[in-house]
Amino acid sequence: MPLKLPVYLDNNATTPMDPRVLDEMLPFFVEKFGNAASRTHAYGWEAEEAVDIARESVAGLVGAHPQEIVFTSGATEAVNLAIKGTFEDYSVKGKHIITVATEHKAVLDTCRRIEKSGGRITYLSVGSNGLIDLAELENAIKPDTILIAVMYANNETGVIQPVSEISAIAKKHGILFFTDATQAVGKIAVDVHTDGIDLMAFSAHKFYGPKGIGALYVRKKNPAVTITAQIDGGGHERNMRSGTLNVPAIAGFGRACELCSDELAAEGKRLQKLRNYFENQLLELGDVEINGEDSPRLPHSTNISFHMIDGEKLIFETGNEIAFSRSSACTSATLEPSYVLKAMGVPDGLIHNSFRFSLGRFSTEEQVEHAVKIISKIVKEHRDERDYGHHKVL
């Protein structure tokens, strides 16, 4: 008997590849195997053309020019390239960077590395709604501030930061603005020019493309942003990221962006309706809280706290039925409480009973109803056991 797979509600960790994306990729593994840097024959020309087409599609999804897209191995590399590259290139002007306590580990760990290299980092706090205070941001700016790094949408709560307002503050002070938009691109409309973004990281596997491919947007004018390469050897990607291009993955990345461009609005509405149904059904249990509920949020994502349950036990008991998580996939191996929820003021005890659920393109009403049924049943059982044990002790 084949193993029955649980309902997948962890799309913020990764999404299943869309079969249409796989179809786009397959020819480049065997039939069209050329190196895109081979300029002397048809195999290379064919690969280069595929990369050019994909670059246009990726740029089109975020309102960029194709030459502003630098292909990387994923968002983590793009984040490192953006922050370290800016720090090294602009260190003559200053060594101060502003970021947020709730950023993804890719940003936080990169900033900590920069601190070891003589940089100074200010970590902004967030309110109980998960949002930064714009006045605190402006007050944190120093004469030597060179970069503001604030993520577009949080990977645990789905809370969307006021990106346009942040970029306006950065522009007013002549500071570059970088955003980790890994959770936002492909889920909501993102436009680098409308939003005033100078550098932006994102990754294909978060919106039904392949793993191992991502991009860094680097603004070409107003201002023309320069960054120091972190990988040398060959001068690929306009000397910003050397290495043989992963043509199959890039082709898939481009196709995934095309599909998101075509289906973003309708998909967002469908997922928000499903997400809201999921939340409302669980709220009926009572003693349930939605973290970041009153803030702008991604349409497919929710972070829910359940009072009076055993979080570890709930994860174990739902494991064969539902796939979801406590926090970021990058931090799920640790038993430490979520630093994102901690920064929002959620008590440690409740953080351990808080979970991230993220729907996706292939989530169905039946799957969501099944998840509600399973979670509701287990939560009620936990609470009955607590009541029973309480009365028994008395």
Catalytic residues: 330
The C-alpha angle with vertex 357 and arms to 352 and 359, in degrees rounded to 5, equals 175
**What is the C-alpha R_g of the chain?**
22
Task: State phi, psi for 200 to the nearest 5 degrees.
Answer: -150, 130
Neighbours of 326 (CB within 10 A): 22
CB of 54 closer than 8 Å to CB of 246:
no
Query: What backbone phi and psi angles, to 5 degrees, belong to 305?
Result: -105, 130
Cα 42 from chain centroid?
A: 37
Sign of CA dihedral 260, 356, 211, 163: positive
* Rounded CA separation 336/12 (Å): 20
How many angstroms separate the first and last alpha carbons of the chain? Answer: 48
Q: Does an H or E element contain 233, and which?
A: none
Residues 200, 192 contacting (CB under 8 angstroms): yes
Tokens 């009403």 belong to 365
Q: Whole-angstrom Cα distance, residue 296 to residue 287?
A: 23
Q: Work out the number of other CB atoms within 10 angstroms of the CB of residue 194.
A: 12
Residue 116's Cβ-count burial label (10 Å; 0-12, 13-18, 19+) is exposed
